[in-house]
Amino acid sequence: MLELFAQSDGAGGFGQYLLLGLVLGSLYALIALGYTMVYGIIELINFAHGDLFMLGAFLALQLADLWFKQVTGDTTGVLPVAALLVLMFVLTPLFCAGLNMGADRAFYKPLRNSPKLTVIVTAIGVSFIFMNLGLFWRGATPVKFPDLIPDTNLIPGSGLRVTWKDVMVVGVTVPVMLALTVFVKFTALGKAMRATAQNPTAAKLMGINADRVIAATFAIGGALAGVASVVYGLYIKSVDYQMGFQNGLYAFTAAVLGGIGNIPGAVLGGLVIGVVGELGKAYLGAKWSEALIFAILIVILLFRPTGLLGARTREKV
């Protein structure tokens, strides 16, 4: 990314940093949605979500490796690459959704009525289990992700660099966010989720199967992590077993900044984190970027403890 900054200056440079921040912010928002959905339903900060995202990236990479070994002939043409991308965007979310549901069934469901601190410690434990699975799967060295989408500048001579990868990130994340919003607002399961989030006891009295709703929430959150992992691999082109920690931390921060439990808030928080982070790198230096992000987070939370779009609710973890 530094080469992008080197190619930019003045107003064009600011626009480039802003564009890069919005693209990365969209990615953080996609991961943050998984945090915010689970928290919105059962008030659990799922610390394992970032490492689930990492395992999804490893599966996508594994699919690419198998594809290039098994498919003969021209594997760099448009159709073979498109087929591989479809395979990644279908199987990786399914894998992450199943894994997240399995974690809920095995670790979180038995602790549903336990003290919240117990569940949080369990989530941290699951995070380390996932991280070590990633370490066992692909080792400790960062692995290059196949370069499947061209870096061609779509608007040469404009002072901005917009590539197919940027278009891919926004083109995947925006429809996913809109579909999730429509799903939660207008479908029967979405309404059951909102009812369970507002008052689980009342929802059960109304005939809503809370366990099924929670399982579906973990599945959707996992699928979002799966989509984000494919987008991340295609955009950043490098994955490693520790990638879930930093990206998960940014995404969790985005969810808190926007108002955890709030879907539009997670999106807004992700975009703010992305833009502030990239502008901080450009004008203050990379070493100040994270300090700037968290300083702004602290200031905002001092004045709005529930986040930018959060509402006051019952006790949170």
Query: Mind listing the pLDDT tens digit for each residue in 121-161?
Result: 999 999 999 999 999 999 899 999 988 888 888 888 777 88
Query: In this predicted structure, what is the pLDDT of residue 89?
Result: 94
Structural domain contains residue 44? yes
Distance between CA atoms of residues 194 and 203, nearest Å = 9
Calpha distance 222→229 (Å, rounded): 10
What is the average pLDDT across 157-176? 87
pLDDT (average), residues 8-23 = 77
Q: Is 273 inside any structural domain?
A: yes
Q: What is the CATH number of the domain that holds 68?
A: 1.10.3470
4: in domain: no
Q: In sequence order, what are the residues at sequence separation of 6 or more whose Cβ sits closer than 8 angstroms to the Cβ of residue 48? A: 103, 123, 124, 126, 127, 129, 130
Confirm if 35 and 257 have CB atoms less than 8 A apart.
Answer: no
Amino acid (1-letter code) at residue 254: A
Tell whether 2 is covered by a domain. no
Q: Write out the residue range of the structural domain in which residue 45 sits.
A: 10-303
The count of domains in the chain is 1
> What's the first-to-final CA gap in the chain, in angstroms?
37
* Residue 317 in domain: no
- Domain presence at residue 261: yes
pTM of the model: 0.87
Q: What sections of the chain are H helices per DSSP?
A: 2-6, 10-42, 49-70, 78-103, 116-138, 164-186, 188-198, 200-205, 210-236, 243-258, 263-283, 286-303
Domain assignment present for residue 243? The answer is yes
Does 311 reside within a domain? Answer: no
